[in-house]
Chain A
Amino acid sequence: NAGVTQTPKFRILKIGQSMTLQCAQDMNHNYMYWYRQDPGMGLKLIYYSVGAGITDKGEVPNGYNVSRSTTEDFPLRLELAAPSQTSVYFCASSYSRDMYQETQYFGPGTRLLVL
């Protein structure tokens, strides 16, 4: 299994541009998450999904959108990129039996720089 994969690994955006961060998992996990990690900080939840077609906001959703059309994929869309969105973005997934207790497994991260 590849686990959780993310593309691209690194991207530079200009202010106002848009982009989609891709995330895929092959572990048949129902739950998927997007986090951002700012320098010297822990991770903060942006959006999460409990299954295909179901998404909900996390702690810091402003400026982002998500969709979940399949179990495997959970793309994160940035509209009108701003310097405050410079961060490392991590996608994670977990098994859905009892959500709070299942371990989340993380992708390798996407480093985004907005100039």
Chain B
Amino acid sequence: AQKVTQAQTEISVVEKEDVTLDCVYETRDTTYYLFWYKQPPSGELVFLIRRNSFDEQNEISGRYSWNFQKSTSSFNFTITASQVVDSAVYFCALSEAGNQGGKLIFGQGTELSVKP
């Protein structure tokens, strides 16, 4: 069965600290996509990244980086030099090729609080 686990419910850091948000997934499909979304206090969902199961290269976008490891079924997200504006709930999600309708399976989210 497909499942996404974000074991960290809440994380609190001080500004400029680095922080890693963990995401572990379960799937029987060999073809799938992984996503990260950000939900700031205003409530909307903002797309951050999409990664397919055949591309294990790490990705960096400014202060954000993602580490995809199929061997451990993990897709972790690191924020370098965190800022107060990074405070949000972050969701990891999975979409399987065999899943009719392109359904996204979401983790429960990690609430990140960055204090000044």
Contacts and interface: CB of A to CB of B under 8 A. Distances in A.
Interface residues of A, number: 30
A41 B37 CA distance: 14
Given A45-B103, A106-B45, A108-B44, A101 B109 contact: no
A48 B33 contact: no
Given A100-B102, A109-B44, A41 B33 contact: no
B108 A43 contact: no
Interface size class of B (residues with CB under 8 A): 20 to 34
B32 to A, nearest CB: 7
Interface string B57-101: 000000000000000000000000000000000010101111111
A42 B9 CA distance: 11
Contacts of A111: 43
A106 B104 CA distance: 12
B50 interface: yes
Nearest to B91: A42
Interface of B: 4, 9, 31-33, 35, 37, 43-45, 47, 50, 52, 91, 93, 95-104, 106-109
Given A41-B109, A100-B95, 5 more contacts: A33-B103, A45-B101, A45-B103, A99-B102, A106-B37
